[in-house]
Structure 1
Amino acid sequence: MIKITIVGITGYSGFELFRLFLKHEKAQVVKVCATSHIGEPLHHIYPQIKECSEIMISSFDPSIIMQKSDVVFFATPAGVTNSLAIPFIEHDFPVIDLSGDFRLKNPRSYEKWYKKPSAQQEHLEKADYVLADVNTTAHQLISNPGCFATACLLPLIPLVKGDFIELDSIILDAKSGLSGAGKVLSESSHFVNVHDNMMMYKINQHQHLPEIVQELKKWNGKVEFIQFSTSLIPVNYGIFVSGYVKLKSGFSFDEVQQDVKDFYKDKKFVRIRSEAPKLSDVVGTNFCDIYLTYNQTTGIITIISVIDNLIKGAAGQAIQNFNHLFDIKEEMGLSHLARI
């Protein structure tokens, strides 16, 4: 069994990692770390696992983690991993980071969008940004993509790669369930402000915006910008992206649609749908469902992309990257179907 440590176990993504690994045939979580509840059984916080695990919450000690584990997952807030991960990076120990600390390759860009000190340049150069259905890694430090970025990049990559669309026409309207706002209570996540309501937040300021542009530029260097908005909707889980792009003259929509299908034909967790997907089709799963349709009058392709923000957008994709890193079947630990 491959031995796992999870740092940041008390957050949503940390516990989702733990929950998914309980069903993994080749991995075992042997250590969980937090800054609170140290010395307590994890089931004191999450009583639903009492019959499954007696694991205790530990303090963070890199030397002990490297002695007892084969890989460490960081499910910590932005601005935390870039310092905690240094001993592991220096020892070339496998790290999968779910925070944003190693996603942006330009330190100034990170500091602008995250409002925190960046990781050191030498450490950024050792990190691979790995969108699990598209990228591979050459390093032991994997930067797991952001939830919004995942839902936006998967439908857009084949479109910009094939140069099918006007690159200055990309508009993305992304809506997230409340768990995407994290576990710490704020005014915007208070029940009375979220229930039976909808609100935009971080308008033109969301930290996943430069991440999306950075990754699109790898597939088409002419991408300069996108229009990207984010909203909170009154559901617990899921991301629903509505995208709008203008088809270039000289291409047919049928050609574009076939290219997208071919791009993902061997990808187990990306489903190109023939009808518009609902959020409930993917909640509780590691799937990204994508649908494209075309308006002949306006020349606009409408994109719908849906994922579970905590699974495909965080813990599930991290396990997918773990499976790739250790040459395990990609779907191991991730064979979940959506609830009815």
Structure 2
Amino acid sequence: MTHKIAILGASGYTGAELVRLIATHPGLEIAALGANAKAGQSMSAVFPHLRHLDLPDLRKIDEIDFSAIDLCFCALPHKTSQEVIAALPRDLRIVDLSADFRLRDPAEYEKWYGNPHAAPELQKQAVYGLTEFYRDQIRNARLVAGTGCNAATGQYALRPLIAAEAIDSDHIVLDMKCAVSGAGRSLRENLLHAELSEGYHAYAVGSVHRHMAEFDQEFSALAGRPVAVQFTPHLMPANRGILATSYVHGDAAQIHRVLTEAYADEPFVHVLPYGEQPSTRHVRGSNFCHIGVTADRAPGRAIVIAALDNLTKGSSGQALQNANLMLDLEETTGLMLAPCFP
């Protein structure tokens, strides 16, 4: 059986990444592509690298007939997404890639995103989309809220350790290096090549990065008490990839053992041999996450490093992984692409 799907926000990076992944998926057919600003254009005109695919033209979202659509991916900006999803048919299954339904408490959404939640009733239905940890809930969900790419990377490194009490949850320093595509495709002066290349800088320093809200929500729920990691993201002059370096208090050998056991049966999360470190170049363009553990020089401290592709495992690949579950398909379908190297 082939399921018909729609992608809203298809003219953005995550929309294009969804098209790339779904193009070889045997169980999905792209029936509609929505992109208001570029409506009427062909996908090949917006993304020439997809020229070889037979795709529908981009259309305004309100012109799409959703009656024959089995599942809809929403790759729209936050605030826009909640308004659009609220107007979609109530029986349509949705995977949202924006930030609009990630936070369970609408008050927390308003605190971190600066505007009241426009669809609080829908928020109650949403399942957090970190597949490896919410698999059972995702299968039966009507609305799945994809994680932030930074939030996903940090959680893969730390969730099993917090749950097993293998580290001191009060002393976690998370240093993250993020590629520029995580900022989206909109034109911004600080993301111009001349402004970004040959440099490297921290941003959202202190307590202002919105993905902190996801860390607070998820880590505190695991620990059964408030957990506030120290987190600083850095923008690196690369197109794809996130490298998260976590400095933790705990026994490195035990940490490696806990992570290895936690991900032993996971097809996309690979814990490297003890002392080996991951690189973004080894996961580029794939749905894989690599995790490495090394002992710090000081006894009782360890370094845990995770790497993934922000557009794939951190966003569109995660969305497709969730959609496979929702449609009762093999979870790995369309996602076993090898990383692009070099």
Distance in 2 of aligned mates of 1:309 and 1:299: 31
The letter for the 2-side match of 1:130 is G
Distance in 2 of aligned mates of 1:253 and 1:236: 32
The letter for the 2-side match of 1:35 is N
Distance in 1 of aligned mates of 2:189 and 2:300: 41
* TM-score (structure 1 length as normaliser): 0.94
CA contact (8 A) 1:5 1:65 kept: no
Other-structure match for 2:246: 243
1:280 aligns with 2:278: no
Q: What does the per-residue CA deviation read over 1:270-300, in whole Å, with 9 as the maximum and x for residues that have no partner?
A: 0001210111010110001001112262421
Deviation, structure 1 residue 120? 2.9
Deviation, structure 1 residue 224? 2.4
Distance in 1 of aligned mates of 2:208 and 2:43: 36
The letter for the 2-side match of 1:163 is E
Deviation, structure 1 residue 166? 1.2
CA contact (8 A) 2:72 2:95 kept: yes
Change (3 A) 1:335 1:212: same
Distance in 2 of aligned mates of 1:119 and 1:71: 22
Other-structure match for 1:113: 112
Number of equivalences:
334
> SS where residue 110 of structure 1 aligns?
helix
The letter for the 1-side match of 2:154 is C
The letter for the 2-side match of 1:262 is E
The percent identity for this pair of structures is 32
Other-structure match for 1:222: 225
Other-structure match for 1:139: 141
Deviation, structure 1 residue 102? 0.2
Other-structure match for 2:267: 268
Distance in 1 of aligned mates of 2:261 and 2:174: 23
Distance in 2 of aligned mates of 1:65 and 1:311: 28
Change (3 A) 1:114 1:156: same
Deviation, structure 1 residue 215? 1.1
Distance in 1 of aligned mates of 2:297 and 2:163: 22
Q: What does the per-residue CA deviation read over 1:288-331, in whole Å, with 9 as the maximum and x for residues that have no partner?
A: 10011122624211110000000001100000001111121111
Task: Using the TM superposition, name which of 212-221 and 166-175 deviates more.
Answer: 212-221
CA contact (8 A) 1:101 1:119 kept: no
> SS where residue 44 of structure 1 aligns?
helix
Other-structure match for 2:93: 94
> SS where residue 133 of structure 2 aligns?
coil
Other-structure match for 1:208: 211
* TM-score (structure 2 length as normaliser): 0.94
Q: Once superposed, what is the RMSD of the aligned Cα atoms?
A: 1.5
Unaligned runs of 5+ in 2: none
CA contact (8 A) 1:168 1:223 kept: no
Distance in 2 of aligned mates of 1:126 and 1:299: 42
Distance in 1 of aligned mates of 2:203 and 2:298: 32
Other-structure match for 1:123: 122
Q: What does the per-residue CA deviation read over 1:192-251, in whole Å, with 9 as the maximum and x for residues that have no partner?
A: 12111001111121110011121112322124211111111011100011111111xxxx
Equivalences for residues 1-340 of structure 1 within 5 A: 1-61=2-62, 64-88=64-88, 91-136=90-135, 137=138, 138-203=140-205, 204-247=207-250, 252-274=251-273, 275-295=276-296, 297-340=298-341
Distance in 1 of aligned mates of 2:43 and 2:255: 49
Change (3 A) 1:120 1:51: closer
Deviation, structure 1 residue 255? 2.8
Distance in 2 of aligned mates of 1:240 and 1:224: 22
> SS where residue 262 of structure 1 aligns?
helix
